[in-house]
Copies of this chain bind each other. A is one copy, B any other.
């Protein structure tokens, strides 16, 4: 049996449009029979943080950063035309009109299609969240660092940094 082609995505950005692009590619790749890995780092960790519940983080600095930067797939914003939330609201309306899944729905979809979601442990600290499974949604299966990502990337047909 031939080995599956691999697609690896590093998601550093927490911008709504980049998160959407990443999941479009991941789910399309999976539907084309590729083995897909998504590695979330820096602001990208916001995408896979739990939407509900409070994350206990130690230290005043982490608590503050965590409060300012709550994250979660439902709080992602466009990089432009934010306009006090109007741009985001419009984009979400247009996504619904175009029958495009929300980031939340994309995460479930991707996970069900076998896309592997990985949280970068090296950058949890500087983003003010504990590097523990409890910080993230249940769909996130792996906690790993940069070496893990490069090892996936070196075996991939396509690797993108988003």
Contact = CB atoms under 8 A, between A and B. Distances in A.
A40 B59 CA distance: 36
Given A61-B97, A94-B126, A153-B158, 6 more contacts: A10-B160, A43-B80, A94-B127, A98-B126, A159-B159, A160-B160
Interface string A2-29: 0001010010101001101100110011
A157 B154 contact: yes
Contact of A94 (B10, B61, B90, B154): B61
A34 B20 CA distance: 30
**A contact patch SS:** helix
A61 B94 CA distance: 8
Interface residues of A, number: 58
Interface in A45-75: 59, 61-62, 64-65, 68-69
A47 to B, nearest CB: 14
B125 A98 contact: yes
A147 B10 contact: no
